[in-house]
Structure formats: structure tokens, C-alpha cells
Amino acid sequence: MTHIAPVRDWASDFDVMDPRYLADPFSIWDELRRTCPIPHTDRRKSSWMPLRYDDVTAIAHDIEHFSSLKVAVIPGDEDEDPANFEGPNLEYGLPPISSDPPLHTWTRRLLLPWFSHQRVESYIPLTRELCRRLLDGFADDGHADAAADYAQQIPVRVIAQILGVSPDLSDTFTGWVRDVLEFADDAERRQHGAEGLLNYFIEQLEYRRQNPGDDLLSELLRTEVDGQPVDDGIVLGMAALVLIAGVDTTWSAIGSSLWHLATHPDDRKRMVAEPELWPTAVEELLRAYSPVTMAREVTQDFEYSGCPMKAGDKVLMNFPAANRDPEAFEHPEMVQLDRAHNRHVAFGSGIHRCAGSNLARMELQVALEEWLERIPDFSVAKGSEITWAGGQVRGPRILPVVFG
């Protein structure tokens, strides 16, 4: 672990990897929203962090001043030179997430149909079957690690299916993605994850060029844009993005939601008794425990809301904090499973709205439904320590629960 110097002033020297922030960012946001709603830090790189709903959504829509070329919360080599982003052959980064129009526009159009609500409905049976198989593995044990034994196992396998790669490698994929996102502060691990992932996809793309199937990778290889095949580096970036974005994020949302249900028996009982609440409950859990923060880069010296932003500064788009803003949500600290008014931005806002949001929402609902169907009564194991990951993606990594 990289050593984190203690934060003395959250307004001018914040650190999203600080242990206190990882464990409880909520109280820090609440305090800052009142005193300094766009704190700054010079740690790692000059960075701003909007915490109010209106600021986060306004900046997300201002693509002229805020570029998406560098979206990593923890700056890496790509902040020196985008061509370094996560290893070899990625001169375009991970489009569409780490791109601006026009590259963003057409690469996003290639991905969206794979995650349309119609397509996502067709993935429900395999997701349900997968959840049931995982539950079969530990339901009789009386205890499990809800994060590692369950939440972590689901999205990676669904994404592997969509990409057409082997679900047997799920643990390896998970390891690479964690290295890139969770352990980004450790240059060696980050590099290791990026290389593993990219070399795997380079091999897979070569194989699929000879042996095309009906999977997303093969489709990207077949696609022509303006009569030309898509550049290899773009296909590689898109393939890597689908895996990176589809694993840690949804797994974190499932884990946080199970943590909530484990620690709030009334909500747990309510969901068992009133399953018709799932559509609003899923949105509310996404609001309250939004996992993802994405970065933007300031394109030119520019004053935003009194903050003297400089070209090259990072802006950490704190969607999780926006979703806890009392100006935008009544009693944001309370989880209200039937919350009627909920314009949450867990999936972002503007042109970079998460392309996989339909899939994430479906996986979250199916995973929670199946868990409660099999294990309606559970709580956090006494004396156990829950580990939370944070930075780019927040969620529990170790969540020991006991049943009954």
C-alpha cells in the first residue's frame, strides 16, 4: 500500500485514498458542502472535487471546458502522455469513456445496442442462473463473504459472456481490473493489471479475426465506419473498457446493497414482503451507494464558481456526493426504498452517461432478488472487519455475513 499522509484540511488538501474517506466519505462531503463545496488538492495532481448536485451535473454537461481524455481518478502515466494509458497499443485510450466527440460519438454508438434494455432483458436468464449457482455453493453453510463469494462473482461472468471470452478466467479478469482501478496508487500493480488485460485482448482479437463469432469482440472487428474498418487500437480500447467498466462497478453496487440490507433489518424485511418495490429500491440503493467517481480534465484556464481552474487540472466528478446533496434530495442520508423523486446520477450525466447502465441495473436487481429469495435473513458477522475499496470505485471487498 502506498503511504497516505494524514489529511489536515479537507478543503485544500483532500485525498480520496485517505482511510477515513474510504470508510466514511459521507460525513466529509456533508461538512465540505457547507464550507467548501469544490475542495482542491495538490496531492498526486492539482485536482478539484465538486460535491453539489448542480455543480457535478453542470460540469458533466460542459464538454468544452472539461475533457474526458483522462478519466482516471488516480493519475497514472496517461497524465503525462495519453499514449501511455495503461500500457501498449492504446493511443486512443478506452473509447468512448476516455474520449471527447467526435471519437466519443461513433464509438459509443457501436457499443450502445449491446446494452439496450431489449438486449439486457435477454441476459436475465443467464444472470439468474449464475446467481442461483453461486447461492447453491454457500446457502447451507450458514455464512458467506457476501462481497467475495457472491457480488464479485456476478458481473464479470455476465460481461465475459457478452464479450465472448471464457468465464473460467473470471478470477484473472477480476484481478487485472482491481489492479487497474483499486490499486492504481501502486504503479507496479497498475502496470501489471493493464498489461495482463491488454495482452489477453490482443490475443483474443487475433483469434477472433480468424474465427469470428456473434460476440461483441467479433462484431467490433467486423464493423466498418465510413467504409473503413475500425482501427485496431480503438477496438482494443473498447474491448478493455467493457471489461474494466463492467466488473468493479456493478460488483461494488451489489456489495454495498447487500451491506445495507445486512445492517438495516427493516429494509430487508420490507423487500422480502414487498418485492414490487424493486424498481424504485434499486434506484434508491444506486443513489445512496453510488460506486463510481470519474475524472475530467480542464481544457483551458477558467474560473468555475469562484475556483481558478487551470488547463490540465483534474476534476473528480463526485457523482456519489451529488446523490447525497440535500439541495437535490430530501433526507439524502436516509435510504427510502420507495423514494418517488430520484433524479440520481449514479450513472453520470450528459453525453458520458454509463453505456452499461441497463445491464448494471438488471444485474443489481437480479442479484438482490435471488439472494433474498434464498437467504431472507442475514446480518454482518459479529466482530468481523469490513473492507471498503474507494477512489474511482467504492464498495465492500470483504463482507462476512451470517444467515438466520
Partner 1 sequence: MKIRVDPDKCQGHARCYGLAPEIFDVDDYGQASVIVDEVPPELEEKARLAVANCPEYAIEIVSE
Binding site for partner 1 (CB under 8 A): 57, 109, 112-113, 116-119, 279, 283, 340-345, 347, 349-351, 353, 357-358, 361
Nearer to partner 1, 137 or 279 (CB): 279
Q: Are 38 and 55 a contacting pair, CB within 8 Å?
A: yes
| Residues 201, 238: Cα–Cα separation, whole Å | 10
| Distance between CA atoms of residues 252 and 388, nearest Å | 9
Which CB sits closer to partner 1, 252 or 358? 358
Output the smallest distance, CB 53 to partner 1, in A. 10
Three cell numbers at 319? 457523482
| Closer to partner 1 by Cβ: residue 186 or 369 | 369
Closer to partner 1 by CB, 1 or 340: give it: 340
Looking at the Cβ atoms of 236 and 328, the one nearer to partner 1 is: 328
Residue 355 and residue 96 in contact, taking contact as beta carbons nearer than 8 Å: yes
Smallest separation, CB 123 to partner 1 (Å): 15
Judged by beta carbon, residue 342 or residue 379, the one nearer partner 1 is 342
Task: Please state the φ and ψ torsions of residue 280, each to the nearest 5 degrees.
Answer: -75, -35
Is residue 294 within 8 A of residue 69, CB to CB? The reply is: no
The three cell numbers locating residue 399? 463482507
Q: How far is the CB of 112 from partner 1 (least distance, A)?
A: 5
**Minimum distance from residue 356 beta carbon to partner 1 (Å):** 11
Q: How far is the CB of 338 from partner 1 (least distance, A)?
A: 11
- Using alpha carbons, list the distances in angstroms from residue 62 to 54, 213, 298, 349, 352: 12, 39, 10, 11, 11
77 phi, psi to nearest 5 deg: -60, -30
Other residues' Cβ atoms within 10 Å of the Cβ of residue 228: 8
Q: How far is the CB of 256 from partner 1 (least distance, A)?
A: 20
